Amino acid sequence: MRVSVRRSEIWGRVEAPPSKSYTHRAVVCASMARGETRIISPLTSDDTEATLDVVGNLGVQVRLDSQEWAIRGREMKEPQADLFCRESGTTLRFMTAICSILRGRSRLTAGSSLRRRPIRPLVDALRTLGVDCHCDGEFPPVIVNGGLRGGKTEIRGDISSQFVSAVLLVSCMAEEPVTLRLTTPLESRSYVLMTMDTQRRFGVEVEGSENLSLYRVERQEYVPTEYKVEGDWSSAAFLLAAGAIAGTVEVRNLNPSSLQADRKMLELLEAMGAGVTVRRGVIRVSRADLEPLSTDVSDCPDLFPTLAVLCSLTRGKSVIHGIRRLRLKESDRVDAMTDGLRRAGVAISPQEDEVVIVGGQPKAAVIDPRDDHRIAMAFGLLGLACERVIVEDAECVEKSYPLFWSDLTSLGGRVEVES
């Protein structure tokens, strides 16, 4: 599917989609709880459906409708076939840990892009805890034979916070208490806090040091509950940025006090000069002459594509630091944004851990998002401010925000979809 976006004047109000990260975590915790959990307002997307498929293949009973999922956890069973995680890194990492508490053999596979993303640090940490598991070098597929004994283990904190979250999610099911130490400073720390918050809502307490470098988890039981998923700041960031670029946008269903790191988008938009107001649960962002930005995204890497587009529309030089891990996402996001912005005539200079963008007036371009949902949505935003941007393979937004193109259209975006 190709989508064309032209210079637009936008105005309106839209509902932020439910949080993908919290939906994953709620499904995983519910699957380990004995009894039925009701997940209210979950996100239905390619990634969350991947997690549902895997837990279903492990014997968890799943009943779905558009506004509520009922998850009946029980003692999970050995799968009868490979567990296909699609392109969802969260699914692969969390389910690798889940399989460590099963009896029998599990083999987890992935789509072509996810097969290029590392899993070895998690496998090594689980093996130290007694799990019989291995992977293909650094990458999937992963074979797990269970045996989570517990004890002490360690893992790096600067590759993926999902490795840390995966260990924490299953540690309460180990035979012995688990102590987890990080060997490098934790990046994307908010995602680990979100994991601990979700576990707490299901009755499991994780002890973490103040800097989140050391954790201890005693044996405990997950308790079924009613869990409402809050709005997704990562997806809403695109909508808020659209207001700063091309008009005025109001977004509902966002928690201003959320643990989600991408809540930082409000602070960054204000720093760039956009009009930002928060009133009665509605976030309002209005267009402005955007100012250059200097910021670090190591704790909120998903904002990088959006910020790169915003910086390309300023008059001056912006610097975005903390981009090293972005080379290990659904695509090499640094290279994908560099290529796309250069096609649009934007001066961009990437380094190992920072990128310099000199803003101006982008021109029309045809963009290959490399099957990366956040790259596709970011260049959709660029189209609002220039003659025309065509995004190829635009259906990849279904990974996290299936309604993105229709929501952009509802705000007045000149969006044309070609099958």
Active centre residues (catalytic): 302
CA distance 95 to 51: 8
User: Which residue matches tokens 């709005």?
Assistant: 231
Task: Please state, in angstroms and as integers, the Cα–Cα distance from residue 226 to each residue in 29, 66, 67, 245, following that order.
Answer: 12, 16, 13, 38
CA distance 386 to 392: 17
3-state secondary structure 205-267: CCEECCCCCEEEECCCCCCCCEEECCECHHHHHHHHHHHHHHEEEEEECCCCCCCCHHHHHHH
Asked if 207 and 181 touch (Cβ cutoff 8 Å), the reply is no
Task: Please state, in angstroms and as integers, the Cα–Cα distance from residue 344 to each residue in 35, 166, 347, 389, following that order.
Answer: 53, 39, 9, 8
Task: Please state, in angstroms and as integers, the Cα–Cα distance from residue 94 to each residue in 75, 219, 290, 386, following that order.
Answer: 17, 18, 39, 41
Asked if 198 and 26 touch (Cβ cutoff 8 Å), the reply is yes
DSSP per-residue string spanning 340-354: HHHHTT-EEEE-SSE
Phi-psi region of 247 (alpha: psi -120 to 50; beta: other; left: phi over 0): left
Residues in the chain: 419
First to last CA, the chain: 5
Cα angle for residues 289, 295, 296 (degrees, 5° grid): 150
